[in-house]
């Protein structure tokens, strides 16, 4: 089971994809040719019976769902087959499996700069001005480097052996390589570094070759930009396109679902279609429900008239491209649906065969925005705030773009301002999460979490791998939540997922927190039961005395404010997992020099402020440079932190939660 409790608020859904046995129809066609149709069948219906009635053939299924990709019978049009399927009593819906292509594959004939210029050097890559200088990466990296964040790149694959990507790629800790066993029981065998959905294997390598319109190297270039901007994040390669940049709605939707299951907090999509593809839209909607940030390129047609899905989907951060002077590049699409802009002109990044290339396009602006999101999430794990931080901190570029005011999003991304906004924003007083254990050999998994922002309290349940469209019951502290809170039983969606949030101040789809669950720190046991009252998932919150119990995570934050005449501000965070405790203190607008830090009057050590910023990280094992002093333990009980210079307290902060009390 791939439930991972980390310093990020990660809500996972089991949406992985497995491939069925090849049929005679598949044997006659290219094994990697996308199917013609997508069907969603009723619970209990047989896809074999449906195929028998209509002459269709299954190519693949999204595991845990009733979505299938089918080939139409030879000699019959796809549209007629779709109509017949939609009249079938066992079919909920049948749709065309639309072509989805990388942004370059869509615009390759009209975009004169569509070809990468190879032959560049690592120094070109490391020192490119519009990234390193314009985006102030040196200062940004003092605040965040994307640690603990997984960014999925759904593209043509990634050249994992490129020297510039060494140490930057995600490795599945739950899968043993090359043993031909599905160790983590997710429907994929030996997928230690992502999956190739186009060719159905565990090698998502960016392959050279293809036709004269080849965009081979596209995914590697994107991964290199993310690695430069968020060097401590981990990049999850997922191949959904061939060397010519062609894929399908079903392949991309499956790749998105796989990324979410693997624990990606961010998905980077440099692809598009003019069709509002329903399954792709639904996959993105489910990813967003689970707290995943989805970033997509807005397209290279140079217009605001042509739809560009998924970038203009409301739940997606759509990214336009700018040049070194923050002007819209002539090929970049624009419009009211753009969220932010990012550099996308004459960028340098790793390419195939271990080399480097120069390339331009919104395809490369999007991953820069995705990498900025990784920096933000590493500093502020609440992904519900990531988009607003990105947009509100963006630098306005309307003045440099007369005639395009308001059509290039909120402005050009500004990582440093975004990270400063994190330290100036509201703090998460408490977050605690516990992985829910399944009671049988099903695919079910889940997480229960509680969090407190000031006067607002929340309890959330996320479950996945359930039976699609089936009803379930939630039992907390031994009591079933009554119909007054839920109206009726919880129903799993078509992807087998449930997400429900209770709040003292509910908005949108949130439910009011029952009086019996206030305060949320008193929540202990959480159970999800099926309609026959069998326990499917359960676990208990346990008090955190120093380290969190196995499978549990605890975090609390405090706002740091100046006590002197200057305007220093910042935040302190205490995190506890089963094997590590971390204390992080960040303060902005300090004079350069050395400062003493104290916790409850106990000295933590001396730390330096550079360029007006101080960051101190202390851990229980000293793995990040400084060990938490014995006299400051248990760190989960820290009440107050102080920044001191020459015996004078310059800034301080107090935790609203003064212990690791949860589930008592």
Dist CA 613 CA 587 (whole Å): 6
346 noted as active-site residue: no
Dist CA 417 CA 438 (whole Å): 43
Instruction: Tell me if 198 is assigned to some domain.
Output: yes
Q: Which of 155, 184, 190, 196 is catalytic?
A: 155
pLDDT tens digit sequence for 589-600:
999 999 999 999
3-state secondary structure 477-492: CCEECCHHHHCCCEEC
Judge if 473 and 509 occupy the same domain.
yes
Instruction: Tell me if 663 is assigned to some domain.
Output: no
CA–CA distances in Å: residue 309 to residues 281, 319, 343: 9, 12, 21
Q: Of 424, 441, 470, which residue constitutes the final position of a domain?
A: 424
Q: For residue 53, which phi and psi values (nearest 5 degrees)?
A: -70, -30
Instruction: Tell me if 27 is assigned to some domain.
Output: no
Would you state the pLDDT for residue 9? Answer: 30
Would you state the pLDDT for residue 664? Answer: 65
Judge if 481 and 348 occupy the same domain.
no
Judge if 456 and 566 occupy the same domain.
no
218 noted as active-site residue: yes
Q: Of 424, 444, 475, which residue constitutes the final position of a domain?
A: 424
Judge if 392 and 254 occupy the same domain.
yes
Model confidence band, residue 487 (pLDDT cutoffs 50, 70, 90): low
Would you state the pLDDT for residue 112? Answer: 42
pLDDT tens digit sequence for 317-337:
999 999 999 999 999 999 999
Model confidence band, residue 65 (pLDDT cutoffs 50, 70, 90): confident
Model confidence band, residue 504 (pLDDT cutoffs 50, 70, 90): very high
Instruction: Tell me if 386 is assigned to some domain.
Output: yes
Residue 32 has pLDDT above 70, yes or no: no
Judge if 473 and 379 occupy the same domain.
no
Tokens representing 446?
A: 């889940």
pLDDT tens digit sequence for 386-395:
999 999 999 9
Would you state the pLDDT for residue 104? Answer: 63
Instruction: Tell me if 43 is assigned to some domain.
Output: yes
Q: What is the CATH number of the domain that holds 125?
A: 3.40.50.200
Judge if 85 and 193 occupy the same domain.
no
Residue 342 has pLDDT above 90, yes or no: yes
Instruction: Tell me if 276 is assigned to some domain.
Output: yes
Judge if 206 and 302 occupy the same domain.
yes
Residue 4 has pLDDT above 60, yes or no: no
Q: What is the CATH number of the domain that holds 575?
A: 2.60.40.200
Q: Which of 54, 162, 168, 218 is catalytic?
A: 218
Residue 212 has pLDDT above 80, yes or no: no
Dist CA 408 CA 104 (whole Å): 20
Q: Of 481, 513, 540, which residue constitutes the final position of a domain?
A: 540
Model confidence band, residue 586 (pLDDT cutoffs 50, 70, 90): very high
Report the domain count for the chain: 4
Q: Which of 8, 268, 363, 503 is catalytic?
A: 363
Instruction: For residue 532, give its domain range.
Output: 430-540
Do residues 471 and 490 make contact, with C-beta atoms less than 8 angstroms apart? yes
Q: What is the CATH number of the domain that holds 83?
A: 3.30.70
Instruction: Tell me if 546 is assigned to some domain.
Output: no
211 noted as active-site residue: no
Judge if 157 and 223 occupy the same domain.
yes
Instruction: Tell me if 1 is assigned to some domain.
Output: no
Residue 25 has pLDDT above 60, yes or no: no
Judge if 374 and 405 occupy the same domain.
yes
Judge if 39 and 121 occupy the same domain.
no
Judge if 420 and 436 occupy the same domain.
no
Would you state the pLDDT for residue 132? Answer: 94
pLDDT tens digit sequence for 383-431:
889 999 999 999 999 999 999 999 999 999 999 999 999 988 889 999 9
Dist CA 276 CA 195 (whole Å): 25
Judge if 488 and 502 occupy the same domain.
yes
Do residues 521 and 636 make contact, with C-beta atoms less than 8 angstroms apart? no
Would you state the pLDDT for residue 360? Answer: 95
Mean pLDDT of the chain: 89
């Amino acid at each position: 089971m791939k439930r991972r409790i980390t310093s990020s608020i990660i809500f996972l859904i089991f949406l992985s994809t497995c491939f069925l046995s090849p049929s005679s129809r598949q044997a006659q066609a290219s094994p990697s040719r996308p199917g013609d149709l997508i069907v969603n069948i009723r619970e209990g219906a047989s896809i074999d019976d449906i195929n028998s009635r209509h002459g269709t053939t299954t190519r693949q299924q999204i595991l845990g769902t009733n979505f299938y990709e089918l080939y139409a019978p030879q000699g019959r049009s796809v549209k007629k087959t779709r109509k017949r399927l939609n009249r079938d009593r066992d079919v909920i819906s049948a749709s065309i499996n639309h072509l989805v292509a990388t942004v370059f594959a869509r615009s390759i004939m009209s975009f004169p700069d569509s070809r990468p210029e190879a032959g560049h050097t690592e120094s070109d890559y490391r020192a490119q001005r519009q990234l390193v200088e314009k985006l102030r990466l040196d200062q940004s990296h003092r605040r965040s480097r994307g640690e603990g964040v997984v960014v999925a790149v759904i593209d043509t694959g990634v050249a994992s052996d490129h020297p510039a990507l060494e140490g930057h790629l995600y490795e599945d800790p739950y899968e043993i390589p090359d043993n031909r066993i599905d160790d983590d029981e997710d429907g994929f065998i030996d997928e230690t570094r992502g999956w190739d959905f186009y060719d159905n294997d565990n090698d998502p390598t960016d392959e050279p070759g293809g036709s004269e319109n080849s965009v081979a190297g596209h995914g590697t270039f994107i991964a290199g930009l993310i690695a430069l901007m968020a060097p401590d994040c981990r990049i999850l390669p997922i191949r959904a396109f061939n060397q010519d940049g062609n894929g399908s709605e079903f392949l991309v939707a499956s790749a998105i679902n796989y990324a979410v299951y693997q624990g990606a907090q961010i998905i980077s999509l440099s692809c598009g279609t003019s069709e509002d593809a329903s399954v792709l839209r639904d996959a993105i909607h489910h990813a967003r429900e689970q707290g995943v940030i989805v970033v997509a390129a807005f397209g290279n047609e140079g217009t605001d008239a042509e739809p560009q899905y998924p970038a203009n989907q409301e739940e997606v951060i759509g990214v336009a491209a700018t040049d070194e002077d923050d002007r819209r590049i002539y090929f970049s699409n624009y419009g009211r649906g753009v969220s932010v802009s990012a550099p996308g002109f004459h960028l340098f990044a790793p390419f195939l065969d271990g080399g480097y290339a120069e390339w331009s396009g919104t395809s490369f602006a999007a991953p820069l925005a995705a990498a900025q999101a990784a920096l933000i999430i590493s500093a502020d794990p609440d992904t519900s705030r990531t988009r607003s931080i990105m947009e509100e901190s963006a630098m306005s570029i309307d003045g440099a773009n007369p005639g395009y005011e308001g059509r290039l999003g909120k402005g050009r991304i500004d990582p440093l301002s975004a990270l400063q906004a994190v330290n100036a924003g509201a703090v998460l007083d408490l977050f605690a999460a516990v992985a829910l254990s399944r009671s049988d050999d099903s695919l079910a998994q889940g997480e229960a979490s509680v969090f407190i922002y000031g006067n607002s309290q929340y309890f959330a349940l996320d479950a996945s791998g359930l039976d699609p469209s089936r009803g379930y019951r939630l039992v907390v502290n031994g009591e079933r939540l009554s119909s007054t809170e839920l109206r009726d039983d919880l129903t799993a969606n078509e992807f087998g997922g449930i997400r429900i949030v209770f709040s003292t101040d509910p908005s949108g789809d949130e439910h009011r927190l029952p009086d019996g669950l206030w305060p949320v720190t008193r929540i202990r046991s959480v159970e999800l039961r099926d309609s026959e009252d069998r326990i499917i998932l359960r676990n208990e919150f346990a008090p955190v005395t120093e380290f969190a119990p196995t499978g549990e995570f605890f975090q609390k934050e405090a706002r740091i404010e100046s006590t002197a005449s200057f305007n220093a501000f910042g935040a302190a965070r205490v995190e506890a997992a089963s094997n590590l405790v971390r204390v992080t203190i960040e303060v902005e607008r300090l004079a350069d020099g050395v400062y003493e830090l104290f916790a409850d009057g106990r000295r933590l050590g001396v730390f330096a402020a550079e360029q007006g910023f101080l960051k101190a990280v202390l851990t229980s094992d000293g793995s990040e440079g400084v060990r938490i002093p014995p006299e400051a333990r248990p760190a989960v009980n820290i009440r107050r932190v102080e920044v001191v210079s020459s015996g004078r307290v310059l800034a301080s902060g107090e935790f609203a939660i003064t212990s690791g009390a949860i589930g008592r």
